[in-house]
Amino acid sequence: HRIRRLRQRMMGHDGALSPKEDSCDGTVHRLVFDKLKSPKDVHEALCRQSVEIVLTAHPTEVNRRTMLAKHQRVKEILEAFDRADNSPYEIRQLNRQLHSEIASIWETDELRRSKPTPVEEARGGLNVVENVLWRAVPDFLRKLDDVSKAQLGEPLPLDVAPIKMASWMGGDRDGNPNVTPAITKEVCNISRWTAARLFLGDIRTLQKELSVRGASDELIEYSKGAREPYRYVLKELEQRLTETVKWTEENAVTGQTTPLDETQIFTNTAELMEPLQMMHQSLISQGRPEIADGLLTDTIRRLAAFGLSMLPLDLRQESSRHAEALDAITQRLELGSYLSWDETTRREWLCKEISSKRPLLPKGTPLRKLGFSDTVVDTLETFELVAKLTPGSLGAYVISQCQQASDVLAVTLLQIDAGVLEPLRVVPLFETLDDLERSAATMEALFSMPAYKDHIRGKQEIMVGYSDSAKDAGRLAASWAQYKCQEEMVQIGANHGIELTFFHGK
């Protein structure tokens, strides 16, 4: 009903558009026509923008797949009611269907009565992607592209992804002993399996649609002169995605990483993106934009937004766990107790080790044979997992209870020592009122260290907590502290030439 009212509001006299101010259409309209920004500036900002929406770990709030499906059917019935040419019989049937769905929803338990495991929780999040976001994201980007063409004079580039998705389900180990490295690995495999399966469905549908023969020289050469060049390419993609589905499913079930020739499967998003873009460019060059702008465009945009990892996992762990692991390492190396060192000593040692190429621990030796406690082994095995997982499976490493610069340096060093080739973004989480008030000083200290500044290459992500600070000081005082600390950190970042991204835990 809200959608129906929005559509009515959008339509002015004689069908003229009257954009709602807080829609993408209304926002762009206001920026350009109120002379706040030039169309070129707005378009460039859209192309640079990246907002990541993170599905977080709250088991009781995950909608049951059953309820998602029922609500989807109600939506479809309501849309069918809006047809102007419904006969009396069709209206009676729609009423019957609507009553049936509402009665079924009324009698269905909306809540899960048993706490889901982290894997079950992650599957619930992936159900939301499959049943809602898989359609909603390309639909929104198609609308945004239309607004860009109409008001800015340029389309939205196909591979631009102003919206991306990520997840904490299966990666948030802060105080949750059920989230182990094995669980994180299983969830990453399930996520990749879901992506491969959904993209395989798109490719098979495109095979039915793209029976076109006219193609660019590049595509003709790639397809070896096939009579139907698009179907030739799509058949090849279908075979590799089918193998990818089998590979990820086997890994998710066994918990092992089955070796396989990477020419038979897809692990890198760019490998799938390149042939899709080549087909799109070929159709444009042959004067067939109306064909290129169908499912092929939606598939390319889905790939840009979700990638082959579907929902990259963020990891989260308490700062005390990293300090405990480093204490075990320094004692084994007979350097003393890391936990007993003051902050200055910790920073000096961490910066020296970050700049050094010498490993802290002997490589290849099982951690349990080094005499470490179970919690230390779990922490260090998590970093070993980060080094082994397919690149792109993980996103950020969030440090909860981050109180000082050494907490950030510790995670940076542990990633380097584990041999992580593409380090995760190390994200300090300032959540209590005291942490927020110290945050500016913490970031100033970090950015003043050449070893750390060289490592981050001009970019830093920072998470601002909302619930803990509100519990400490009340909502109004917490809101003021959050605003003030962000302003201070932005200024510090600018002074050091660091671009900041804020992750809002709200």
The pLDDT of residue 46 is above 50: yes
Quote the tokens at residue 478: 């917490």
Burial 389-403 (b: 16+ CB within 10 A, else e): bbebbbbbbbbbbbb
Residues shown for the chain: 506
Percentage of residues of the chain with pLDDT beyond 70: 94
Residue 59 banded pLDDT, cuts 50, 70, 90: low
Residue 13 banded pLDDT, cuts 50, 70, 90: very low
148 and 49 Cβ atoms separated by less than 8 Å: no
Which residues touch 214 (CB under 8 Å, ≥6 apart)? 286, 288
Quote the tokens at residue 324: 């405990």
The pLDDT of residue 12 is above 80: no
In sequence order, the β-bridge partners of residue 214 are none
The pLDDT of residue 427 is above 70: yes
Amino acid 22: pLDDT:
66
Question: Around Cβ 149, how many Cβ atoms within 10 Å?
Answer: 12
Q: Cα dist. 387→291, 377, 380, 418, 420 in Å? A: 42, 15, 11, 6, 4
The pLDDT of residue 17 is above 60: no
Amino acid 424: pLDDT:
95
Angle, alpha carbons 120-123-125 (nearest 5°): 115
Amino acid 58: pLDDT:
67
Query: What CA–CA distance (Å, rounded) separates 496 from 489?
Result: 11
Residue owning tokens 């006299």: 13
Least confident window among 182-191, 220-229, 251-260: 251-260
308 and 196 Cβ atoms separated by less than 8 Å: yes
What is the number of helices (H) and of strands (E) in the chain? 21, 7
Residue owning tokens 């760019």: 270
Query: Is the dihedral angle over the CA atoms 383, 385, 388, 391 positive or is it negative?
Result: negative
In sequence order, the β-bridge partners of residue 165 are 53
The pLDDT of residue 402 is above 80: yes
313-318 β-sheet, strand order: 51-55, 163-167, 313-318, 394-400, 425-430, 459-465, 499-505
Residue 61 banded pLDDT, cuts 50, 70, 90: low
Quote the tokens at residue 480: 């003021």
Least confident window among 35-39, 229-233, 334-338, 346-350: 35-39
Which residues touch 277 (CB under 8 Å, ≥6 apart)? 158, 159, 300
28 and 151 Cβ atoms separated by less than 8 Å: yes
DSSP state of 133: I
Residue 14 banded pLDDT, cuts 50, 70, 90: very low
- Enumerate the active-site residues: 58, 471
Mean pLDDT for all residues in the chain: 90
379 and 324 Cβ atoms separated by less than 8 Å: yes
Least confident window among 166-180, 342-356, 433-447, 450-464: 166-180
Residue owning tokens 């997992």: 385
Terminal Cα-to-Cα distance of the chain (whole angstroms): 27
Tens digit of each residue's pLDDT (9 = 90 or more) over 105-141: 999 887 777 778 889 889 988 988 998 899 999 999 9
Closest CA to 315 of 251, 391, 399: 399
The pLDDT of residue 15 is above 60: no
The pLDDT of residue 437 is above 70: yes
Higher pLDDT, residue 47 or 174: 47
Angle, alpha carbons 414-415-418 (nearest 5°): 85
Query: What CA–CA distance (Å, rounded) separates 345 from 359?
Result: 20
How do 499-505 and 394-400 pair as beta strands?
A: unpaired
- Angle (deg, nearest 10), helices 269-285 and 295-306: 150
